[in-house]
């Protein structure tokens, strides 16, 4: 098989294929090891050696040899994580292990995927958390709950949001209109406007920003913020490094962020400098280089913004 085609494969060496509306998968040799007979709405995707498949309206799992190891008997499933998968049957959710054994009975109305060893579950309209062996470690007493991130999970009670730790202690009181998950030690919270708190609940960045794009998560020490319909970036101290003057912006990657103005894209660095002007149809940072598209032509720049191609 040509190297160019082989390099297009994901790291696990398996590529999803579709024929006559049915999904299967091939390996790097081009061998169809999973016949195109499944009704998946999206690509075959292996996680921990297993991929969810759908047939005749029911879901199961196949392994990387193409063998159906867990029968298609579930109404809905999540991918495996830490050896477990959440599955739905008869309008209730439970948890199975990678051999198909039921670890948590079908008793929850809703569930989230496992994150940091815990999953949020809903029972009788209230939310709590189970661990990876199915024990209910945080009682179902909250109106809403989000997955754990950096050891804390957002929970909602009496119309306000706060955070609990992994043993259920309320470490940040429920006093916010809305919150997002912690990233790099900070979480975006709303009290009228959006700001940031640390893991102790201290307000690090004042609530002066609008609803953030993508939850306002920090990445590489910076978060995208929005003010007066324009986007910019702050650092973890709350300093505005990139002024809020762009129409759109993507998170930092490899020390650069893509920004847009007047429907054209450019690149800013961590000092706030516009290293590539906003004059391209698209832009992306990849493996230390900056790739820009303009009028159908590809332009490549190095990390200093100097043209390579």
- Per-residue pLDDT reduced to its tens digit, 238-257: 999 999 999 999 999 999 99
Does the pLDDT at position 9 exceed 50?
Answer: no
Q: Residue 303 has what pLDDT?
A: 83
Residue identified by tokens 């706030």 is 272
Q: How many Å apart are CA 140 and CA 202, to the nearest integer?
A: 27
Is the pLDDT confidence value at 198 over 80?
A: yes
Average pLDDT value over all residues in the chain:
91
The band of 267, judged by pLDDT with boundaries at 50, 70 and 90, is very high
Higher-pLDDT residue of 45 and 217 is 217
Residue 297 pLDDT > 90: yes
Q: Higher pLDDT residue, 48 or 1? A: 48
Task: Give tens-digit pLDDT for 93-127.
Answer: 999 999 999 988 999 999 988 889 999 999 999 99
Residue 11 has pLDDT above 80, yes or no: no
Task: Give the pLDDT confidence score for residue 10 in this predicted structure.
Answer: 52
Output 309 or 71, whichever has higher pLDDT: 71
Q: What CA–CA distances, in Å, run from 125 to 15, 154, 214, 227?
A: 40, 17, 27, 36
Query: In the numeric block, which tokens belong to residue 238?
Result: 């709350």
N-to-C CA span, the chain: 28
Long-range contacts of 205-209 (CB under 8 A, 24+ apart): 205/234, 205/238, 206/238
Q: In what order do the strands lie in the sheet with 274-280?
A: 248-249, 256-261, 264-269, 274-280
Q: What is the pLDDT of residue 254?
A: 93
> Is 70 exceeded by the pLDDT of residue 12?
no
CA gap 262, 33 in Å, rounded: 48
Residue 280 has pLDDT above 50, yes or no: yes
pLDDT at 283: 94
Q: pLDDT higher for 146 or 306? A: 146
Is 72's pLDDT higher than 90?
yes
């Amino acid at each position: 098989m040509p190297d160019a085609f082989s390099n297009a494969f994901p790291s696990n060496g398996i590529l999803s294929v579709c024929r006559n509306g049915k999904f299967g998968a091939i390996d790097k040799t081009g061998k169809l090891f999973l016949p195109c007979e499944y009704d998946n709405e999206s690509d075959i995707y292996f996680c921990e050696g297993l991929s969810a498949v759908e047939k005749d309206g029911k879901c199961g799992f196949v392994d990387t040899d193409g063998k159906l190891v867990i029968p298609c008997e579930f109404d809905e499933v999540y991918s495996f994580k830490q050896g477990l998968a959440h599955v739905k049957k008869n309008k209730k959710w439970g948890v199975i292990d990678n051999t198909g054994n039921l670890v948590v009975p079908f008793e929850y109305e809703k569930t989230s995927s496992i994150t940091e060893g815990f999953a949020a579950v809903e029972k009788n309209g209230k939310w709590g958390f189970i661990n990876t062996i199915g024990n209910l470690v945080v009682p179902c007493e909250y109106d809403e709950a989000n997955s754990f991130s950096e050891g804390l999970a957002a929970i909602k009670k009496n119309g306000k949001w706060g955070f609990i730790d992994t043993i259920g202690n309320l470490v940040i009181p429920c006093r916010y209109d809305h919150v997002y998950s912690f990233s790099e030690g900070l979480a975006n919270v709303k009290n009228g406007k959006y700001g940031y708190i640390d893991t102790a609940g201290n307000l690090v960045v004042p609530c002066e920003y609008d609803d953030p794009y993508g939850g306002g998560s920090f990445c590489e020490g910076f978060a995208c913020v929005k003010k007066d319909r324009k986007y910019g970036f702050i650092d973890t101290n709350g300093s505005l490094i990139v002024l809020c003057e762009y129409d759109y912006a993507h998170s930092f990657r490899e020390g650069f962020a893509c920004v847009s103005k007047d429907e054209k894209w450019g690149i800013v660095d961590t000092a706030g400098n516009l290293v590539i002007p906003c004059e391209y149809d698209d832009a992306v940072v990849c493996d230390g280089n900056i790739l820009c598209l303009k009028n159908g032509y590809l332009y490549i720049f190095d990390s200093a913004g100097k043209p390579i191609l």
